[in-house]
A = this chain, B = another copy of it.
């Protein structure tokens, strides 16, 4: 019997979305601290010719959590271990942490859209084969929503528009200035870091709503 794996995955995802008990129509994806690497830095950290290995696919098509884990360290010299690498490799390395992490590390990352790392904070990444000291690349990710072209129409929002979001978790919270990213490469999901998620009491099965 032939099984269409991606159709099954799609059905399971939809079932999970439907079973969520929180109010709202946008599923939440909580981003823990993570690292994106350039191929050059990947090879410094893991050795020449090294390639990322996928542990599991993420909700956004083509993105995956890797088996590779690294240690990050800032000016406090207190390391955070087991920070997961996300694939695929990018043109520039980037370390996304929460403000809570930033106090432990003693780094001062700006709140930024992923990829906009110009002038962001320095941080050091320690791997099994080498160390990379980024002069810039450490950010706190901005609040953002990924959505397909179809969902963009449904919600009446355009790529790069900013919206307000209500999260009715254990502590009701409104998030302002949430960037919307619309693309045929995206699947509907609001990305929050652990500070935002824990403030509001949201989980990965939670759902939130656009206020305007």
Q: Which of A42-50, A57-65, A192-200 contacts B (4 or more CB under 8 A)?
A: A192-200
B143 and A171 contacting across the interface, CB-CB below 8 Å: yes
Copies in the assembly, this chain: 2
A138, chain B: closest CB distance, angstroms: 15
Select one of B172, B176, B198 contacting A99, CB under 8 A: B198
Q: In whole angstroms, what is the CA distance A40 to B173 when docked? A: 38
Main secondary structure of the interface of A (DSSP, over half): mixed
A-B contacts besides A100-B100, A171-B176, A173-B174, 15 pairs, CB < 8 Å = A98-B198, A99-B198, A99-B199, A100-B194, A111-B170, A111-B171, A143-B171, A171-B175, A171-B196, A172-B176, A173-B173, A195-B195, A196-B199, A199-B199, A199-B200
- Chain A's interface size range is 20 to 34
One digit per residue, 1 when the CB lies within 8 angstroms of any chain B CB and 0 when it does not, for chain A 163-196 equals 0000000111111110000000000000000111
Select one of B103, B111, B172, B198 contacting A195, CB under 8 A: B198
